[in-house]
Copies of this chain bind each other. A is one copy, B any other.
Amino acid sequence: PDWTPQVRDGILQLEREFKFKNFKLAWAFHNKVAELAEAEGHHPALLLEWGKLTVTWWSHSIKGLHKNDFICAAKTDALLTV
CB distance from A21 to the nearest CB of B (A): 14
CB distance from A34 to the nearest CB of B (A): 5
- Tell me whether A27 is interfacial, beta carbon within 8 Å: yes
- Tell me whether A12 is interfacial, beta carbon within 8 Å: no
A23-B38, A47-B47 known, 19 other contacts, Cβ within 8 Å: A23-B34, A23-B37, A23-B43, A24-B38, A27-B34, A30-B34, A30-B48, A31-B31, A34-B48, A43-B49, A43-B50, A45-B47, A45-B48, A45-B49, A46-B47, A46-B48, A46-B49, A47-B48, A48-B48
Number of copies: 2
**Chain A: interface residue total (CB-CB under 8 A):** 15
